[in-house]
Amino acid sequence: MSAWKRTVVGLCLLLGCSAHADTFYVSTTGADANAGTSPGQAWRHLAYAAQQVAPGDTVYIERGDYGNETLAITIDGTPSAPISFIGYQFVPGDRPGPAFQYGEALDPAVMPLLDGGDRSSGTGITLYSRSYVIVKNIQIRNYEAGVDGWHGRHLTLENIIVSDTGDINASYSGNGITLGGADDNTLRGCIVVNAAAEGYTVVGDRNHLESCRVYADDNSTIPSSTDYYIIVEGNDNTFDNCYAERVGDLEHVGHGIGIKGNGQNNTFSNCTGKNLAGAFYVRHRGARNNTFLNCTAIEGTGLLVRDGASDNTFINCHTINAENAVTFLDTDEDGGAQFAGRNNIFVGCTFENTTNTGINFSYYSLESSADNNSFVNCVFAGGPYLFRTERTNANNTLINCIVSGFGNLSIGSYALDYSTSSSIFWNCGFPLPPGAGVMAADPMFVDPNAGDFRLLSGSPGIDAGDNSAVPPGVGVDPDGRTRFIDDPCTVDSGLGSAPIVDIGAYEFLLGGTCPGD
């Protein structure tokens, strides 16, 4: 950057003015001796471009293989004048395509590619303590880390693809995209494949991840498979439409999407985890008051509560073919008096075709209690055991729930301490449990074999629930319908003032008029 521009930048940062915005270009066919002000006069190296920019500037990076270059940005943008580094395919500002899909190789003919050539060292893009920087449309592979946004503020990363990071012979190495001690940042449409330690690491507050994906399929060494797919510590972060998948029987069981450590008021919406040891997890006593909304766990362990995580809410979530739909466990990672997890609420969730246990009070690995957790308006559809009791459990409840197709109530060496009310049990291999409003009846699902657990007209679950059990603020079912719809064809048999909530995950909506009307 020239001396006069540095002076202008310094004054603007001091006074809060908007700097003049310039546009520059980088290409594998360029030269740093060029002016950099047009595609035909493009610079060659990203490092050189990073030294020339000022707030408000945009650098367009042409597709191509940039080898083991790194992009280290050393100056901040401003709220009105961010600094932008944007990859393109044919024309500056275009959207490179076709979009990357898991299983494909990174292609420098589509977007600029940084290839470190050595997974044990280096970082593709460094944004240490930077603010108001935008980076889009760049591929990164073969570094120790893909993107490091330590102490970043107001960063935007979009369509960043990171592959094969970390020393696969080291005990713990390899990060995809890291925001450490970082606040108010946005990641959109990013993809991480085979980060040997952590896919996305978010430590900070008010960060937002949208449509980000992470995959692992590397089983070449014991440490090569991803440990944490999306790991979060901090408050008020939001995650929407994110996806995590462990592909195959990898050495590491894989921790999916969730909170580890101190984290409150984080929200995960419409996310999916597949084949993971806790597709969605809350872990440690500082993990409180977080919400998982409309999330889907496929295979593996579905929802995991451990190490004293409490007061978290899982709303309208769905597990499919999970070994254990919900698991509670505890370790000695938190000192002092121990408990596995308490006062967590699962409402409107569907646990479909569980291959082992619906609610697993796991033995692992420390003696403590899982207590006072509530399952409200949930559907447990098929499995060998409704409960596994390998730890102390107390005062857990099932209310407004449907349990169908479970062979056994429980298995395990500890006593089962739970209660149920306003619930339906059907086609189960154990006696009907005691409880007010508990009935043995066909719930009349629309098509359970196809995974449709809505209620047919005439179902005994319609208008038969307990209104007081529905947590405040949980106003809709998985279809987005209000939790309280009166069916004029059904006599209310539940508790509370009309309209009465239905039993099960879905609220029945009459499609027509009552017979005889």
Q: Provide the Cα torsion 282, 285, 286, 292; round to 10°.
A: 20
- Alpha-carbon distance of 22 to 186, in angstroms, equals 24
Mean pLDDT of 267-283: 99
Determine contact, residues 475/462, Cβ cutoff 8 Å: no
CA distance readout (Å), 47 to 51, 61, 69, 85, 425: 7, 12, 8, 12, 65
Q: What is the pLDDT of residues 306-354, one digit of tens each?
A: 999 999 999 999 999 999 999 999 999 988 778 999 999 999 999 999 9
513 pLDDT band (50/70/90 cuts)?
Answer: confident
Say whether pLDDT at 147 is over 60: yes
Q: What is the pLDDT of residue 515?
A: 63
Say whether pLDDT at 8 is over 90: no
**Structure tokens given for 282:** 């809350």
Q: What is the pLDDT of residues 499-512, one digit of tens each?
A: 999 999 999 998 77
Please, is 515 exposed, middle or buried when counting C-beta atoms within 10 Å of its C-beta (0-12, 13-18, 19+)?
Answer: exposed
374 pLDDT band (50/70/90 cuts)?
Answer: very high
Q: What is the pLDDT of residues 205-235, one digit of tens each?
A: 999 999 999 999 999 999 999 999 999 999 9
- Alpha-carbon distance of 254 to 127, in angstroms, equals 28
- Alpha-carbon distance of 156 to 18, in angstroms, equals 19
- Alpha-carbon distance of 282 to 305, in angstroms, equals 5
Mean pLDDT of 387-414: 99
1 pLDDT band (50/70/90 cuts)?
Answer: low
- What is the residue type of 156? T
- Alpha-carbon distance of 416 to 368, in angstroms, equals 14
Mean pLDDT of 371-397: 99
Mean pLDDT of 178-191: 99
143 pLDDT band (50/70/90 cuts)?
Answer: very high
Mean pLDDT of 278-296: 98
Q: What is the pLDDT of residue 368?
A: 96
517 pLDDT band (50/70/90 cuts)?
Answer: very low
Say whether pLDDT at 378 is over 90: yes
Q: What is the pLDDT of residue 514?
A: 75
Q: What is the pLDDT of residue 4?
A: 43
Q: What is the pLDDT of residue 511?
A: 78
Say whether pLDDT at 516 is over 90: no
Say whether pLDDT at 162 is over 90: yes
Say whether pLDDT at 381 is over 70: yes
Determine contact, residues 138/160, Cβ cutoff 8 Å: yes
Mean pLDDT of 461-476: 97
CA distance readout (Å), 32 to 45, 46, 51, 136, 286: 7, 10, 11, 22, 50
Say whether pLDDT at 392 is over 80: yes
Say whether pLDDT at 46 is over 50: yes
Backbone CA torsion sign across 425, 431, 437, 441: positive
Mean pLDDT of 131-158: 99
Q: Provide the Cα torsion 427, 432, 433, 436; round to 10°.
A: 110
In terms of DSSP bridges, do strands 452-455 and 445-447 run parallel, antiparallel, or are they unpaired?
antiparallel
Please, is 7 exposed, middle or buried when counting C-beta atoms within 10 Å of its C-beta (0-12, 13-18, 19+)?
Answer: exposed
Helix/strand/coil (H/E/C) assignment for every residue in 171-240: CCCCEEEEEECCECCEEECCEEEEECCEEEEEECCCCEEECCEEEECCCCCCCCCCCEEEEEEEECCEEE
- Residue 100 has phi, psi (to 5 degrees) of -65, 140
Backbone CA torsion sign across 3, 8, 14, 18: negative
Q: Provide the Cα torsion 72, 75, 76, 78; round to 10°.
A: -130
270 pLDDT band (50/70/90 cuts)?
Answer: very high
Integer Rg of the chain from CA: 26
- Alpha-carbon distance of 261 to 493, in angstroms, equals 44
Q: What is the mean pLDDT of the chain?
A: 96
Give the rounded percent of residues in the chain with a pLDDT score beyond 70: 96
Residue 264: how many CB atoms within 10 A of its CB? 17
**Residue given tokens 């570094």 in the structure block:** 143
Length reported for the chain: 517
- Alpha-carbon distance of 86 to 159, in angstroms, equals 10
**Strand runs (DSSP E) across 434-516, as ranges?**
439-440, 445-447, 452-455
Q: What is the pLDDT of residues 415-440, one digit of tens each?
A: 999 999 999 999 999 999 999 999 99
Say whether pLDDT at 3 is over 70: no
Q: What is the pLDDT of residue 432?
A: 99
The domain segmentation of the chain, as residue ranges, is: 253-510
